[in-house]
């Protein structure tokens, strides 16, 4: 599918609110990445942000759809709550993650595709790209805030509190990259 780039596999365990029930879920994700410049230090920082998202934000989180009643029920868990524009099924989660990671990666590290499959999704693998039909379910609005368009570590549309990477204490102690890129792609 993709000839050049980097492939990284990871997973997370979370809880999904579907049909008014909470369901445990295990999700496997594969990212197909392409460096967009030759700055290995910037690429490493971006990759570490990606790793942080899966290990610290998605892990043990609660996924809900965008319903006011769900917000009221789970509001006190906002630090663990991630809301989606419709039911948080794999395709929608994949599209939102695709947009979020590319907002974070900017001109440094591009996500070309996300392969996503979960236990609750009956281990069907969905491949999300720029051309996926699921995009029609995700609002793109310029005038309204959507967390998946925000390059900062915010994963909810609930409330007005928005934190930056610095405010959450994101730091990399050893800036030397273990991610080595021969040549960046400047497309």
CATH code of the domain covering residue 32 = 3.30.479.10
Question: 44 lies in a domain?
Answer: yes
Whether residue 108 lies inside any domain: the answer is yes
Number of domains in the chain: 1
Residue 186 lies in a domain: no
Q: List per-residue pLDDT tens for the chain, 187 residues long.
A: 555 689 999 999 999 998 889 999 999 999 999 999 999 899 999 999 999 999 999 999 999 988 777 777 777 766 789 999 999 999 999 999 999 999 999 999 999 999 999 999 999 999 999 999 999 999 887 778 899 999 999 998 877 778 899 998 888 765 555 555 545 555 4
Residue 160 is assigned to a structural domain of this protein = no
Evaluate whether residue 175 is within a structural domain. Answer: no
- The count of C-alpha atoms lying within 13 angstroms of the C-alpha of 69, restricted to the half-sphere facing its C-beta, is 2
Per the domain annotation, does 182 fall within a domain?
A: no
Which domain, by its residues, includes 137?
Answer: 6-149
* Tokens read off for 105: 């990666």
| Cα four-point dihedral sign 177, 164, 128, 70 | positive
pTM higher than the cut 0.85: yes
Assess contact for 39 and 108: CB atoms under 8 A.
yes
């Amino acid at each position: 599918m993709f000839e050049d780039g980097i492939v990284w596999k990871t997973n997370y365990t979370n809880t999904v609110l579907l049909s008014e029930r909470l369901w445990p879920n295990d999700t496997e994700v594969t990212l197909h990445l392409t460096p967009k410049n030759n700055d290995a230090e910037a690429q490493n920082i971006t990759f570490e942000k990606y790793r942080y998202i899966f290990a610290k934000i998605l892990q043990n989180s609660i996924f809900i759809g965008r319903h006011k009643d769900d917000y009221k029920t789970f509001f006190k868990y906002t630090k663990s709550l991630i809301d989606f524009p419709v039911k948080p099924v794999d395709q929608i989660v994949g599209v939102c993650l695709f947009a979020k990671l590319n907002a974070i990666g900017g001109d440094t590290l591009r996500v070309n595709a996300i392969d996503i499959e979960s236990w609750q999704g009956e281990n069907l693998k969905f491949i999300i790209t720029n051309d996926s039909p699921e995009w029609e379910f995700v609002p793109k609005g310029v005038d309204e805030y959507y967390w998946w368009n925000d390059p900062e570590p915010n994963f909810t549309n609930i409330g007005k509190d928005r934190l930056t990477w610095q405010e959450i204490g994101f730091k990399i102690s050893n800036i030397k990259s273990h991610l080595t890129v021969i040549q960046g792609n400047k497309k």
